[in-house]
A and B are shown apart, each in its own frame.
Chain A
Amino acid sequence: GESVGLHLPTLSVQEGDNSIINCAYSNSASDYFIWYKQESGKGPQFIIDIRSNMDKRQGQRVTVLLNKTVKHLSLQIAATQPGDSAVYFCAENRANQGGKLIFGQGTELSVKP
């Protein structure tokens, strides 16, 4: 079937540690992926994106890795801070479906001080 899913619904890390959030996708036609962060009471906020012609992209404290062979995406957050506590969604842009953005179920990241 067609789906974007997350392996873990919740993740708890210690402040200062690195966080890794995983995501699986099933549509090989997908060519653009986005990670969003959603804080309580707010809309999803763009964090970082990656296109299918890349396997790694880095931002400020965040890195996205794309493994097209196994259709797997991950978000790495370095030196996790309390402000990183939120729900993180991966989203898949399906070029063969008019550019629809399909969201995963979300992973809740909790940072312990």
Chain B
Amino acid sequence: DAGVIQSPRHEVTEMGQEVTLRCKPISGHDYLFWYRQTMMRGLELLIYFNNNVPIDDSGMPEDRFSAKMPNASFSTLKIQPSEPRDSAVYFCASTRDAMGETQYFGPGTRLLVL
């Protein structure tokens, strides 16, 4: 199994630009999670999906952030417009069952907003 795949691995953009992060979960996993990691705040859950449906987006910082999962094998996290404080590592994770099953993480996307 290829594991969770994320792209791009690195993204440098200017403030105000739109940023789109992509994730392909492990095949057969019904749950997909988006996390953000910073030195100050650690790992934060932004949003998660079950069977392509958003279940909890309470961690999404503000309206500039949006996430979609059009099918079982693809999800996007979009920031529009981006700001320097959005600079972080964004991880996608997937699992078969959110209740008592391990989440498997992708390699992350390192975002730098100038």
The answer to whether residues A43 and B106 also contact, given A101-B45, A105-B42 and a CB cut-off of 8 A, is yes
The answer to whether B100 and A32 have CB atoms under 8 Å apart is yes
- In the docked arrangement, what's the CA distance between A95 and B97, Å? 11
Closest A residue to B6 by beta carbon equals A43
In the complex, are the beta carbons of B105 and A45 less than 8 A apart?
Answer: yes
With both chains docked as a complex, state the minimum distance between the C-beta of A88 and any C-beta of chain B, in angstroms: 12
B99 & A95 in contact (Cβ 8 Å cutoff) = yes
A51 at the interface (CB under 8 A from B): yes
Chain B residues with a Cβ under 8 A of chain A: 4, 31, 33, 42-43, 45, 48, 55-56, 91, 93, 97-100, 102-108
Number of interface residues of A (CB under 8 A): 23
Q: Which of A43, A95, A100 contacts B100 (CB 8 A)?
A: A95
Bound together, the chains give a CA A100 to CA B103 distance in angstroms of: 10
CA distance A102 to B45 in the complex (A): 8
Chain B positions within 8 Å of A105 at CB level? 42
Whether the pair B43, A99 counts as a contact (CB closer than 8 A) is: no
Please state if B56 and A100 are interface contacts (CB–CB under 8 Å). yes
Q: Which residues of A contact B4 (CB under 8 A)?
A: 43
